[in-house]
A and B are shown apart, each in its own frame.
Chain A
C-alpha cells in the first residue's frame, strides 16, 4: 500500500519526534547529558589541590558527613569530588576508544563488504585474527610498551573492540550492495568511492551510530576492568582507579562502602544511559525490530 505523505517532514525532526516519545530514550539521554555536563564543568569548581594526596584535608576513610557528602578516601580526599573528576577520565577513554574503534571498524567493514574479492577476504582474515586476540594480555603488553595510563588503555580497548563493528558493517554493506540502487548508480557512472560514500555509507550509518552507543558502554566497563587490574596510571583519577584503590586500600574490610559503591553505581548508571539511548535509536532507525 502506498501512503503519500501530505508534506515533506525533515528526517531529523521526525527522528526527534519519535525519540522524545520514548521514556527510556529520555531517561537515557538525560543521564548522559548530566554526566557530560558534570565532566565538562568539573574544572570550574574542582581545584587540582582538591585531588592532591598531599594536600588532602579530610580524615582517613571518614564516613559521609558535613563537607564530605560521600565521605573521604584513605589520604582524606572527598570521594564526591573524586567521583566527578573520574567522570572526565572514564568518559574520555570510553568515547575516544569508541571513536577509534568505529572509524577503524567502519572503514574495514565497508571495504571488506565492497571489495568482495581478495581485499575483502584478506581484511576479514585480519578481523578474525583480532577477534581471537585476548584483550587482557594485549592491554598488559601494550602498557608495557607504551607505559601505564589512559593512552595505552584507550588503544587497547579500541584495538579489541573494532572487530565487532567491522563484522556488523560488512554484513550491512553486503546487504545494501545487493540492492538495485547500487546497480543504478553504477549504470549512471558511479565509481567505487562514490558508491561507498554516497550510497552504502548513508545506509550503514544508522547502524554505526547504534553500535557506537553500545560500544561506549562496553568501553567504559573495559576501562574500569583494566584500571582495576592496575594497568591505569594511579595518579590519574578515574572510576577504575577509585575502585582499584578502594580494593588495595582495604576499604572493603574496613567497611568503607562510601568509597567503593559510588564509582560502581556511577559506572552502572552511565552504561545504562548509553545502552538505553542506543536501544531507542535502534528502535527508531530499524522499526522492524519493534515488537509487532
Chain B
C-alpha cells in the first residue's frame, strides 16, 4: 500500500495565553489523512481550528505536539527540510487579491516558487505551462498583467498556477472560493477536480461550506473546537450524519427540507474547552436527554478519544444510540 500523501498524527497546536486568558488549544489532537490523488474536505465554523490545522500541515505553524507526515516521512523543522517539503506541498489562500503581491506581475508571482527553489532553467516554459494548466490561456496574455488588472477568479487561478509551477503533489486550500463570486466558484472548484484528474494531485480543501464538500471531495472531516468530530466518505457523512453537530450544520443549509436545528449559544472558545464531550454545551441531543438519563454524566464527564485517521468515525457518546426520531419510528413500528 502506498503511504498517504499528507498526514497529521495526534497533532496539537496551542497558542500562548493572551490578555489574561488561558492558552488557546486551536488544534487539540487531530488525526487526518489525505491519500494520494484524494480530495478531502475539512469543514468547520470560524474559530474551530481548521485554518490552524491547514497551516500546520503545510509547515507554516510548528505543532506543539504530534507530527505531520509527507508520504510516510515525518516532517522535520530544520530550514532545509522545510524547504524541501515546500516543493511538494502548496498552500492556496482564501483571498486571492491579498495573496498576490501588488508590485509583482503575473509572471513574477508564478515564477516565485521555481526561483526560490533554484529551478531557473526553462523558467518561462514552466511559468507558461503552469498558467495554462490553471486555465489562464493563452498565458502570453496574462504574464505582464498586475493583480489589480485581473478579476477575482483570474487572481485565484494565478495563485493556483504559482503552486503548480513547483509540480507539487499536495495542495492545501484554505477557503479557496469563499471570497469569489458564485459563478466563478464552480469554475475554480472544477479546476481543482481537473488537476486531480490530470496530475493526480491530492488536495485538502478547508471550508465552512458543506456544499463545497459535496461538489468536489471524496472524504470529509468535520471539525469542532480543535477536534475532528466526524469523518468518513462524503456520502456517509453528508447524507447520513451521525454527529449532532454535523446534523445541525446540514439542517441549516438553505434548500434542505429537514427542519433546521438552531444550535444555542455562540461559536466556542478554544481558550476554554468544556470537559467531557466538548460539544455538549450546545448539543441539541444532549439537551433533549431526560434529567434522569445517566448518559448525561458521560457527555459532561468523560472525554472522547481522538478519532483514527484511516477509518470513518464519530466522536459522540450518543452517536450509537438511536436518535429521538429513530426511537419514535421504531416504537411506531412495534
A residues lining the B interface (CB < 8 Å): 2, 4-5, 8, 11, 179-181, 183-191, 194, 198-199, 202-203
- In the complex formed, the residue of B with least CB distance to A186 is B60
A8-B149 contact given A184-B91, A187-B91, CB 8 Å threshold: yes
- With an 8 A cutoff between CB atoms, is B33 at the interface? no
A209 → chain B closest CB, angstroms: 13
Write the chain A residue with the least CB distance to B165.
A188
Q: With A181-B98, A181-B100 known to touch, is A187 a contact of B145 (CB < 8 Å)?
A: no
Q: Which 6 A-B pairs have the closest CB atoms?
A: A187-B91, A189-B86, A180-B98, A202-B103, A188-B113, A180-B99
| Separation of A8 and B163 alpha carbons in the complex (Å) | 24
- Given known pairs A184-B162, A186-B60, A187-B60, the reply for A203 and B102 (CB within 8 Å) is yes
Q: Per a CB cutoff under 8 Å, which of A5, A190, A202 touches B112?
A: A190
User: Roughly how many angstroms separate A198 CA and B58 CA in the complex, as a whole number?
Assistant: 22
**Inter-chain contact A199/B60, CB cutoff 8 Å:** no
Interface positions of B from 76 to 134, Cβ below 8 Å from A: 79, 82-83, 86-87, 90-91, 93-95, 98-105, 112-113, 116-117
> What residues on B are CB-neighbors of A189 within 8 Å?
82-83, 86-87, 113, 116-117
Point out the residues of chain B lying under 8 angstroms from A198, CB to CB: 101, 112
A4 and B112 in contact, given A180-B98, A181-B101, A184-B162 (Cβ under 8 angstroms): no
What is the distance, in angstroms, from B136's C-beta to the closest C-beta of chain A? 13
CB contacts (< 8 Å) of B27 on chain A: these are: none
- Chain A contact surface mostly: helix
Q: CB < 8 Å: which of A4, A11, A187, A199 contacts B86?
A: A187
B162 touches A183 (CB 8 A): no
Query: Quick one: closest A residue to B97, CB to CB?
Result: A180
Which single residue of chain A is at the shortest CB-CB distance from B114?
Answer: A188
A179-B100 Cα distance, complex, nearest whole Å: 9
Contact residues in B for A179 (Cβ distance below 8 Å): 98
A33 to B140 CA separation, bound complex (whole angstroms): 41
Residues in A whose Cβ lies below 8 Å from that of B166: 188
Smallest Cβ distance from B28 to chain A, in angstroms? 23
Task: Please give the distance in Å from B126's CB to the nearest CB on chain A.
Answer: 14
Docked pose: A199 CA to B113 CA in angstroms? 13
Given contacts A5-B149, A187-B86, contact A203 B58 (CB under 8 A): no
| A84 and B103 alpha carbons, distance in the complex (Å) | 41
Q: Please, which residue of chain B has its CB at the minimum distance from the CB of A205?
A: B103
